[in-house]
Amino acid sequence: MIFSSFFPDTDAPSAYAADYRDLWNRGYRGLIFDIDNTLVPHDAPATAASAMLMKRLKGMGFKCMIVSNNEKPRVSSFADAVGCGYVYKASKPGRRGYLKAAKLMGLPVNRVAVIGDQFFTDIWGANRSRMASVLVGIISPKEPPHIILKRVLELPIRLAWSIEKRRREG
């Protein structure tokens, strides 16, 4: 299918409701997270919930990284607050940021899963990097204009994904 390179391996209502036990059982040991509208609303600081999620995941044995297209001050302050390493100005959907994160975690790409809210950046970049991809629902509909435009452009992919997902579920 024309859109299949944008399709996630799976999806979840939110980053907080993803099935991390299943990812662990399938052999994934590293998790890469986007920040904005994946863990917190756009431009929001880290929250107690985001810090607790990272603590829980590390307690399960996962290595966690933040990979973002944002500038260093935004990414480093968020990552420090939740206790993760980070890659800033990652140029998603390019592979560089994802591969750097896997290397920093000391893991091969086939043991890393990416959790994000956008088809064109998070999911496509993960798929291009040969990492598992988990599409999560957005936290807030309040977004900057350039993200709103991407959401509109994603609509045909979102529709095709929902059809594919129903087909997979039988």
Q: Which CATH class is domain 4-169?
A: alpha beta
Q: In which order are the strands placed within the sheet that holds 112-116?
A: 10-12, 132-136, 112-116, 30-33, 63-67, 85-87
Cβ neighbours of residue 19 closer than 8 Å, sequence gap 6 or more: 10, 12
- Tell me what the pLDDT averaged over the chain comes to: 95
Q: Which tokens sit at 52?
A: 């607790």
**pLDDT tens-digit profile of 121-163?**
999 999 999 999 999 999 988 888 888 888 889 999 989 999 9
The pLDDT value recorded for residue 170 is 80
**pLDDT tens-digit profile of 65-100?**
999 999 999 999 999 999 999 999 999 999 999 999
Return the domain boundaries, the chain.
Answer: 4-169
Mean pLDDT within 6-14: 95
Banded pLDDT at 165 (limits 50, 70, 90): confident
How far is residue 165's CA from residue 128's CA, in Å, rounded to a whole number? Answer: 20
The pLDDT value recorded for residue 143 is 85
How far is residue 15's CA from residue 85's CA, in Å, rounded to a whole number? Answer: 18
Alpha carbon of residue 89 to chain centroid: 15
The pLDDT value recorded for residue 1 is 62
**Cβ atoms of residues 113 and 103 within 8 Å:** no
Residue where the block lists tokens 């863990």 = 39
